[in-house]
């Protein structure tokens, strides 16, 4: 069992000001796999002070120094790659194959992309006799979730380091193990003391203290919309910038000219990646009403091929959900779907057969769903897909946009021009045509209650920069 009871502040591993611990539960076994410390406002004060001191030099460091620092992080990360993957699998139940091929790879991808972008990023722009500078915003509070833990750490820490910011990371207390490995990587790579700090804790404690701290210049938060609004409220009195990547209830429009077998199968399997615990999961599949029964049969067949079980097994394609809290929430929402009259195509309440322990959920498909049902409105954050029939393309677009969220959308069509036309009308930050996915250079973020700002690549630098205009610079 891991004992991760220290925080990383000012280049040192230190004990919390007030000792308080929390057990971390392995969701596949329901057993304690680690003990961490829970921080307080006093720990945040220490970390912010260290970050402010470090910013006095790091905020003005040469570009090449920061490029070399990111490249050093890449080198150490590659050495610790398997440790990152193992930590993710243990803390949040990702199958070994997913932890290695996707989860761990995202952290490395963001570091490499930030180094690439930084080499040619334009921090200055001349407008006649005047010059506009893009400068690091200062000290950043970073709050990251448990579902793609290293991805979200990487897409915040890498650009912040690149542009010259200093930071305090609060990883999820539900899945903090990979954050410890990340912090060890930062330390070994030689990131200067105080530039990167890590304090474990919960939202009401460390999260609130960071959000309202007058020494923090901006907050970058990924998590639920409910928690994101609290971060913004706490940040408001100090008028700090708040970047948010929040929830989603993403539509997947299968157009009448799509290859139904391919489109439905692809949408179903995408839904089950990471056990449905992705904010951009295609959780609402819209299909022509005349093809609904066919879609149900295809979805059932695809779901029956999913292998739920031990994340360490090479055969497993879907692991547990992250916690008992999530398990119970998902069970309640599946039952809600049944109670509200949706047709249960496959899955349902309870654990899959043969799994008596662990937070395993049956991959579930509902059909005959209308967009007013709870399972069509709420973000379930589990392996639950709803099939919604539509009678016309206009109706499909209207249903797709009839949500408080706007993180992602999906369009399936046999005609690329047709798909592009429909994609242009989806109110979401990322729209995927025929299963395409973006690279680390493509901006990620949402409309409406899915957040604001953008992460990843060149666009991901923006939230960490202030704009300064110096008039008469060339006079």
Measure the CA dihedral 113/118/123/126, to 10°.
-90
- Exposure b/e, 161-188, CB count within 10 A at least 16 = b: bbbbbbbbbbbbbbbbbbbbbbbebbbe
Per-residue pLDDT, 472: 96
DSSP 383: S
Same-domain pairing of 217 and 289: no
Q: Which residue in the block uniquely carries the two structure tokens 């010259």?
A: 164
Same-domain pairing of 80 and 228: yes
- 475 within some domain: no
* CATH code (residue 157): 3.40.605.10
Same-domain pairing of 91 and 134: yes
- Cα(212)–Cα(216) distance, integer angstroms: 8
Residue numbers of the chain with a pLDDT score lower than 70: none
- 63 within some domain: yes
Whether 165 is catalytic is no
Whether 395 is catalytic is no
- 209 within some domain: yes
Q: Which residues contact 144 (CB under 8 A, 6 or more apart)?
A: 152, 153, 156, 169, 170, 171, 172, 179, 222
Same-domain pairing of 54 and 101: yes
Same-domain pairing of 225 and 325: no
0.85 exceeded by pTM: yes
- Is 332 in a helix, a strand, or coil? helix
> pLDDT (tens digit, 9 = 90+) per residue, 81-122?
999 999 999 999 999 999 999 999 999 999 999 999 999 999
Same-domain pairing of 76 and 103: yes
Structure tokens that stand for 469 in this block: 């205009």
**Number of separate domains in the chain:** 2
3-state SS string for 421-469: HHHCCCCCCEEEECCCCCCCCCCECCCHHHEECCECHHHHCHHHEEEEE
User: Which of 91, 173, 279, 455 is the catalytic position?
Assistant: 279
- Cα(153)–Cα(146) distance, integer angstroms: 10
- 444 within some domain: no
Per-residue pLDDT, 475: 72
Structure tokens that stand for 416 in this block: 């690329």
* CATH code (residue 349): 3.40.309.10
User: Which of 91, 113, 173, 245 is the catalytic position?
Assistant: 245
- 213 within some domain: yes
Same-domain pairing of 115 and 259: no
Same-domain pairing of 241 and 287: no
> pLDDT (tens digit, 9 = 90+) per residue, 377-426?
999 999 999 999 999 999 999 999 999 999 999 999 999 999 999 999 99
- Cα(90)–Cα(179) distance, integer angstroms: 13
Same-domain pairing of 297 and 384: yes
- 354 within some domain: yes
- 238 within some domain: yes
- 98 within some domain: yes
- Cα(109)–Cα(185) distance, integer angstroms: 15
Same-domain pairing of 327 and 222: no
Q: Which residues contact 264 (CB under 8 A, 6 or more apart)?
A: 254, 285, 287, 295, 298, 299, 302
Domain boundaries, position 366: 251-439
User: Between the CA of residue 172 and those of 24, 145, 237, what are the distances in Å?
Assistant: 11, 5, 25
Question: 124-127 and 130-136 as β-strands: parallel, antiparallel, unpaired?
Answer: antiparallel
Same-domain pairing of 241 and 257: no
Same-domain pairing of 316 and 189: no
Angle at 370 between CA 266 and CA 261, to 5 degrees: 20
């Amino acid at each position: 069992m891991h004992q991760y009871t220290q925080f990383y502040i000012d280049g040192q591993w230190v004990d919390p000001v007030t000792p308080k611990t929390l057990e971390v539960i392995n969701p596949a076994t329901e057993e304690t796999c680690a003990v961490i410390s829970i921080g307080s406002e006093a720990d945040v004060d220490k970390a912010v002070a260290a970050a402010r001191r470090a910013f006095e030099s790091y905020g003005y460091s040469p570009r090449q120094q920061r490029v070399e620092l990111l490249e050093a992080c890449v080198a150490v990360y590659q050495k610790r790659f398997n440790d990152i993957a193992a930590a993710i699998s243990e803390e949040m139940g990702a199958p070994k194959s997913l932890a290695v091929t996707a989860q761990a790879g995202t952290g490395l991808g963001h570091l490499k992309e930030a180094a690439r972008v930084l080499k040619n990023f334009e921090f200055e722009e001349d407008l006649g006799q005047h010059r506009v500078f893009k400068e690091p915003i200062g000290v950043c509070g970073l709050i990251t979730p448990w579902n793609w833990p290293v991805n979200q750490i990487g897409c915040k820490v890498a650009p912040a380091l690149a542009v010259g910011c200093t930071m305090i990371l609060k990883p999820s207390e539900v899945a903090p193990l990979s954050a410890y490995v990340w912090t060890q990587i930062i330390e070994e790579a030689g990131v200067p003391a105080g530039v990167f700090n890590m304090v474990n804790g919960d939202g009401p404690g460390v999260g609130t203290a960071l959000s309202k701290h007058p020494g923090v210049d901006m907050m970058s938060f990924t998590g639920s919309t409910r928690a994101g609004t609290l971060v913004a409220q706490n940040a408001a009195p100090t008028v700090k910038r708040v970047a948010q990547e929040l929830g989603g209830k993403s539509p997947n429009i299968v157009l009448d000219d799509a290859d139904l077998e391919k489109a439905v199968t692809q949408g179903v399997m995408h839904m089950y990646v990471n056990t449905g615990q992705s904010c951009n999961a295609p959780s609402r599949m819209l299909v022509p009403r005349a093809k609904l029964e066919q879609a149900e049969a295809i979805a059932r067949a695809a779901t029956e091929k999913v292998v739920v079980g031990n994340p360490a097994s090479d055969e497993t394609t879907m692991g547990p959900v992250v916690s008992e809290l999530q398990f119970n929430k998902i069970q309640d929402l599946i039952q809600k779907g049944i109670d509200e009259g949706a047709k249960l195509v496959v899955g349902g309440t309870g654990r899959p057969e043969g799994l008596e322990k662990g937070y395993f959920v049956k991959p579930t498909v509902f059909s005959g769903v209308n967009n007013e049902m709870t399972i069509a409105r709420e973000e379930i954050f589990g392996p639950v897909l709803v099939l919604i029939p539509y009678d016309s393309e206009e109706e499909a677009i209207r249903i797709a946009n009839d949500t408080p969220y706007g993180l992602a959308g999906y369009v399936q069509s046999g005609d690329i021009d047709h798909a592009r036309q429909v994609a242009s009308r989806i109110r979401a930050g990322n729209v995927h045509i025929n299963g395409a996915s973006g690279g680390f250079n493509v901006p990620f973020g949402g409309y409406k209650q899915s957040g604001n700002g953008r992460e990843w690549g060149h666009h991901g630098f923006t939230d960490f920069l202030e704009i300064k205009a110096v008039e008469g610079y060339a006079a």
